[in-house]
Structure 1
């Protein structure tokens, strides 16, 4: 569904006002040290909030049916920087920030420390062939800018490619957006840190979906935490733009899942190629997620523990096609509340290999 610029800016204005009243705990580290047998995850910033909600609700589900022995589920946030002891008896590790860092931590440790990695990207070259990427929902990635800044309501893929490869460095060089006359101002293009799944996915989507673009020298060296418009760099920069998860944005603005840092702040999400990623019902637009900017989000496991001899049955009980995340009504409500699209039966819990 295509929108006029007026409709887009109306939506942005509504989103900005709602963001100021959004409330609710979107993310937090475990309140207790998980037991050695518990299922513990690290990694992606984009999916940490919904994963934390899964933890709360799955553990309550077990307690509610009188199960005191099954492993509980826990998830450690991507920030703040520092060391964490993920479970009882585990070796302290540097907190993994981002999908790539989470996958690295998964493969550098055993189940005594990490059981799964949250990932907002699929498998790619460099990932181990022994890792299983298990799908649980769908997201869409767009871009965000200051609500009162110089960015237009819409940018094309060609515009974004030009901005991030530095052939476009000034707003007045954008001439393919009807009704938009760009200010004579230098564009401040930001990307999340290099381990971010959103960063790697966005650069590939902008490259057409098959080959990633290489960011040019004009791209800002400072890398803000993804999906956090509260970063001071965005407070007043009228020329800033940054990739942003549409699902995370929906969860923040319409689901009320924000903290003092995990919020859009003064940023509002925008259209790509004339498509706004959020419908009037405040859910992901399936037309948008069917483009190169739609992505599946995953939890990553060691294959030996997912399907091999001696596999941990708790993993499929939680994340498998017949597991709690894919079949339980509360889990499905969590996925929707945090802005993600549910996958079809059989797709949720499905495995992708490198």
Structure 2
């Protein structure tokens, strides 16, 4: 039996006896963020203490995205914020994740997009989701490097009812008691064929372990995305191209690298003055990253001061258009039902407590948008 403990802001790092923890804990799972804007206030302390005690750890984030594109943004933020010593990065999907989505049917696709970003960055990517959501919301279709499921049963600190589905880690209680902390803890154990080394070893491939006399250039070439490629990586590419302002055709992000996607890639390559071949290699990926950064950065005209009054349903005009552009919805200058719903979802995701999650754009919501 392994003792794996996940920690967040609910466990004060200063209240943990790290000397005792070192003797008992096999691995830690530390929370980095809740969505993109709410950082876990104890993460840095937990990391510092875990390193000092020599306890290996993985890092996770509670998903609070509003769309597939937003899921990828949150994943990139997790990569930036997670300590580099993290053995793996994990997406946590629960009921509030579902609540934050504009289109509830996109939960599995958004989760997959998030995980694909982690994998593309070279990290071992894990997936955690509520037990009752796993099948009900098609989360069993999400492909990650490992699956972590909670199932508590009587939830008395001991193992009780196992998950209904095969998984690699089992979180068996949220009321665990351990001598190194005077409070309740979430405890997990191994639940498959993967050992502790799999979870708490190096997160990125060690290139130096590959035989130097067996290079595989052909494999590298085949990994490039180009006309004829299919799958989730192509779909993620298409989403990024659309976000950056390049049309991939009427079918949108369908995971099929066809003529329209090929044309979009070539246009990107032309705009950034790199070899125009329609193949997505390192230079093209770098160009796309620059295009996304440029697109997401407000221009001088978009950064405008708060108009001095709240904007709500029924309002019309240029200020409403600015809000709609920032939210990525239809721009018609009319603050209607769709705009109100988008504002509510945005406020909920970003924890805008001053205005309240009410669909009204006050000063705090305006300043956060721009």
- What TM-score does the superposition give when structure 2 sets the normalisation length? 0.21
Question: Going by fraction, where is helix more abundant, 1 or 2?
Answer: 2
